[in-house]
Structure 1
Amino acid sequence: MTFDYIFKNATVIDGTGAPRYRADVGVVAELIAEIGDLSKASAKQVIDASGQVVAPGFIDTHAHDDAAIFDRSEIYPKLAQGVTTIINGNCGCSLAPMALRPGERPPTPLDQLSRDGVHFRTFAEYLDAVSLSRPAINGAFLVGHSTLRFRHMADLERPANESEISAMQLDLHEALDAGALGMSTGVFYGPAQATTTDELIAVGRPLSERGGLIAMHVRNEADQIEPALHEAFAVSSTLHVPLVVSHHKLFGKENHGRSTHTLALLRQQARLSPVCFDCYPYTASSSTLLPSRIKDSSRIQITWSKTHPQHAGRDLKDIAEEMRVDQEEAMRRLAPGGAVYFALSEDDVQRILASPNAMIGSDGVPFQEVPHPRMWGTFPRVLGHYSRDLRLFPLEAALHKMTGLPAERFGLVGRGRVAPGFAADLTVFDAEQIADMATFDAPKQAPKGISHVMVNGCMAVVDGEVVDWHAGQVLRRGQ
């Protein structure tokens, strides 16, 4: 048998959490064809992986690359850190279904998905556009509840009525038919803050009928996190659908240490219904400009500002002093914009990362002048800093959190494992060298230690250089 590629002398970590082993990995077309001793086999290209790990390509379970997937410069940070699949449409925000009038902008945070206002009237139209663009990496997609509200409600400051709920249900049906994995919510943000629990359940009814999941940015991640989690449990349990809690964290000094209790709640609920969560490996979050977060943050760094773009990357405190106003007023003057908020506990971050139900998601936001470093460093940081250096968990467990577990929970059939018959999405790295290089002051830096990234059997990255920008596919639910 002749292979297209053979990775010889590899240390294989297969994504299931099982112990590593030495073997050769043979690829034919888009699939892993054989694993074992292939020393006597021939291949069009043989790659010596001695001293390196061959792992499944990483799955970013929480991305906001809905428009960035069309943009080489914006999707490069994911490829560079070994990500081969992204889950888009999180936090209630998706590019479809949306119908903007000329000159109209959607409300924040929907307006952060795209730099030039690109949007699509139907979910099928959007997925077809992504597919026709031949993206650099694989994309799987959620439809945003906030997007549905914006599409069908003239007044977002109240709960939806019956006719509006019916219209949103129809759009959710269409999105699921087109291949959406499920629906996401962002009741923390303005466009959906008036949403009731009953509205979430009613709009989500098509998920029960079609087998979709729900990913929820819960209503509160600070003092009221427990009732917010119970709301998410109630929605998913009533609908009888799997739940993914988005970027689980505890915000503000007064809430540090509470992850012991929230993780116990999540474990308890997981015994009753399918529940897991994603998280990122940093003690700072990033969001829109939120004056309510000033008092709970030890530092706030501006990531972008529409009115004062020159302040991107600077501390809000310094900007306020220059403006001779307090930080709240400075934030109002900078709006619309975004910021990094230093308000999380390292102990909580480690406890959450180490949970067996934790998946890794970057929550990176593209199109920002000085983004949170998670956009460039999430996955190598987990593998290098937390697994190798701090020994928080074995490398096998770390990789399971970013490959096999998310593939299983999001229903990505044939992905997330190094096994014959699975898609040849592979990341090859040096376990002793892999490290994130992105910092808060200099975030746009590619990691080190990753030698090859393969997407659908095509070599996409070699030593940090992209050699194929069109190896990705749209991954539709059930396919």
Structure 2
Amino acid sequence: MHFDLLIINGTVYDGTGAPGTQSDVGITGKRVTDIGDLSAATSSRVIDATGLAVTPGFIDAHSHADAALLRDGQHACGIRQGVTTEIIAPDGLTLAPLSRENYLMYMHYLSGILGYASEDLDMSTYATAMSNYHNKTSCNVALFLGHGPVRLEAVGGMIDEPLTGENWTRAERIIRESFEQGACGFSTGLSYYPNSFSDTDELVNIMNVVKEYERPLSIHLRNHNVERGFAGGGVEEAMEIGRRSGAQIHLEHYRTQPDSAGDLESILEPVERAKSDGVDVTLETYPYPVGSSFPQSFFPSWFHEGGPESMLELLADGESLERVISGIVSGSRGSATGNMWSHIGSEKNKHLEGMLFDDVAAEWGVSVEEMMCRVMLEEDLNCGFRGAPPASVRVWQQVEADIMELMQRPDYMVGSDAIPTGGMVHPRAYGCFPRMIGRLRRRHNIPLELMVQRLTQNAALRFGLKDRGEINEGKFADIVVFDPDRITDRATFEDPEQYPEGIPFVVVNGQVAVDHERLTGVLAGEAV
């Protein structure tokens, strides 16, 4: 028997949660074709995995690499972690399906999170958008249908109008077309726009359609326009959407925060209550105490109407700026203090990357809110931030302990929420998966087979990634080979662009993408 690639002498964890077994894995073309004792076989390439774990490739259930993958298909920060499939377009924030005019406008609006891709790409349908990734990236790419593009196309721009009448007719057409072309779920982020112009009824209507395709709602919980959300938004709104529509619900980055560390019961109670009502709920998390975003998330609803050009006009006008700042201060969207600039588009202000908002504001002699507005104006919105980790090590350790307790639930998976744009990115962009399955798994004594299942099969099942997330005959050969005792993240908040250790080989669709911890340059990733 001859294979194209043979992985020998490793301990195979198949992704189902079963304990590892000593086996060889034979690969022909894109798929696994045999597992067992293959010592008599020949192969064009042999990887000796003695002392190493052989697992399905990791699946990132929440990645903002939409434009990063288009800028550089190698995507080293992801593939070096063992991520063989990136699910992009979470939070409803993505670049397709959009007309050319809306594509350029929304890319401008989202530049603080996504950065920029080529202006010449065809993003007019789900299918054409996916063609921009197929066999052009080191990893596979799955794409949510985002709430943002649906609203922009249905109502004709960044406009606060309900999805009713002709607007709904256009929205439903886009939704059905995109799911018929393979969308892996519908995503919304109710801290962002135009998503937050919606109310709960709108999301129920959308999910009444999406459930026909047996795909979930992936939701970033509401903290904007809270009066439009059932019970003031948050998790209760998400659960109500599930109750009323019967659709599957997936909660994005759902965990305790530094101010709620140790109180898992409070965050899980509404989830368990909804499950008892028959709602199908899954959840995701990442292993860090703080996240990242872009400044628009602090601004009042009216500020976003009209899109980037209107927003910049408001920031440039002194009288309007006072109203904007007042809207930020009086809003229910949280305080901007304690954050740090992670991405600055211009060379002029590049020195701000890594500086705390409070320190920049003090240096300039203005409030944090005014400083934020000034940077946004000078950067033409192309700026982003990340949270600063808590000063208390004890709080950080408690959040980590909470996260690892959540990961032992069968309904949890991992989404990095990585924003791989900027010079001082959040370390999760380089270290999320090895931190979870390496450092923290060992620290909290969690069985390796359990963690493998959470990082692989769970997301594949939830988002309909056929024949992925498992090592079995006939499945796609997306495989990670790593040292379970040595795998660890090296990315820190101070020095985030550090690749992990202990992951010598990564295989995507039968092709070796990482060879002895080095990129091969192979772009075997597919649109899935």
Are 2:509 and 1:474 equivalent residues in the alignment?
no
Q: How does 1:204-353 map to 2 (within 5 A)?
A: 204-220=207-223, 227-251=233-257, 253=259, 255-271=260-276, 272-289=278-295, 290-291=297-298, 299-306=338-345, 308-335=349-376, 336=381, 337-342=383-388, 346=396, 347-353=398-404
| Partner in structure 1 of residue 170 of structure 2 | 167
| Partner in structure 1 of residue 426 of structure 2 | 372
Give the whole-Å Cα distance in 2 for the aligned partners of 1:192 and 1:427: 36
Q: Please, which runs of 5 or more residues in structure 2 have no aligned partner?
A: 299-327
Note if contact 2:185-2:215 (Cα within 8 Å) is conserved in structure 1: yes
TM score, norm. by length of structure 2: 0.83
Give the whole-Å Cα distance in 2 for the aligned partners of 1:151 and 1:207: 18
How far apart are residue 117 of structure 1 and its match?
5.9
| Partner in structure 1 of residue 114 of structure 2 | 113
Note if contact 2:207-2:247 (Cα within 8 Å) is conserved in structure 1: no
Q: Which amino acid aligns with 1:245?
A: L
Note if contact 1:279-1:362 (Cα within 8 Å) is conserved in structure 2: yes
Are 2:125 and 1:122 equivalent residues in the alignment?
yes
Note if contact 1:252-1:297 (Cα within 8 Å) is conserved in structure 2: no
Q: How does 1:362-441 map to 2 (within 5 A)?
A: 362-391=416-445, 393-441=446-494
How far apart are residue 111 of structure 1 and its match?
6.3
How far apart are residue 228 of structure 1 and its match?
1.5
Q: 1:83 to 1:116 in 2, by over 3 A?
A: closer
Give the whole-Å Cα distance in 2 for the aligned partners of 1:343 and 1:165: 42
Q: 1:76 to 1:343 in 2, by over 3 A?
A: closer
Partner SS for 1:233: helix
Q: Which amino acid aligns with 1:169?
A: E
How far apart are residue 430 of structure 1 and its match?
0.6
Q: Please, which runs of 5 or more residues in structure 1 have no aligned partner?
A: none
Partner SS for 1:382: helix
Give the whole-Å Cα distance in 1 for the aligned partners of 2:424 and 2:22: 41
| Partner in structure 1 of residue 13 of structure 2 | 13
Give the whole-Å Cα distance in 1 for the aligned partners of 2:358 and 2:223: 25
| Partner in structure 2 of residue 136 of structure 1 | 138
Partner SS for 2:419: coil
How far apart are residue 317 of structure 1 and its match?
2.2
Q: How does 1:170-185 map to 2 (within 5 A)?
A: 170-185=173-188
TM score, norm. by length of structure 1: 0.91
Note if contact 1:259-1:348 (Cα within 8 Å) is conserved in structure 2: no
Are 2:107 and 1:61 equivalent residues in the alignment?
no
Q: 1:29 to 1:102 in 2, by over 3 A?
A: closer
Q: 1:460 to 1:51 in 2, by over 3 A?
A: same
Q: Among the aligned pairs, what percent are the same residue?
A: 31
| Partner in structure 2 of residue 147 of structure 1 | 149
Give the whole-Å Cα distance in 2 for the aligned partners of 1:117 and 1:288: 21
How far apart are residue 212 of structure 1 and its match?
2.3
Q: 1:18 to 1:173 in 2, by over 3 A?
A: same
Output one character per residue of 1:188-228: Cα deviation in whole Å (capped at 9) or x when no partner: 2132222100111223332122222211111149x999951
Partner SS for 2:4: strand
Q: Which amino acid aligns with 2:209?
A: P
Q: Which amino acid aligns with 2:523?
A: H
Q: Which amino acid aligns with 1:413?
A: K
Q: 1:127 to 1:102 in 2, by over 3 A?
A: closer
Give the whole-Å Cα distance in 2 for the aligned partners of 1:431 and 1:105: 45
How far apart are residue 422 of structure 1 and its match?
1.2
Give the whole-Å Cα distance in 2 for the aligned partners of 1:321 and 1:294: 22
Give the whole-Å Cα distance in 2 for the aligned partners of 1:226 and 1:280: 26
| Partner in structure 2 of residue 46 of structure 1 | 46
| Partner in structure 2 of residue 156 of structure 1 | 159
Q: CA RMSD in A?
A: 2.6
Give the whole-Å Cα distance in 1 for the aligned partners of 2:359 and 2:257: 23
Q: 1:351 to 1:365 in 2, by over 3 A?
A: same
How far apart are residue 85 of structure 1 and its match?
0.5
Q: Which amino acid aligns with 1:400?
A: Q
How far apart are residue 264 of structure 1 and its match?
3.1
Q: 1:385 to 1:220 in 2, by over 3 A?
A: farther
Q: 1:103 to 1:82 in 2, by over 3 A?
A: closer
Note if contact 1:304-1:339 (Cα within 8 Å) is conserved in structure 2: yes
Q: How many residues align?
A: 471
- Report which stretch shifted further, 450-459 or 396-405: 396-405
Q: 1:354 to 1:258 in 2, by over 3 A?
A: closer
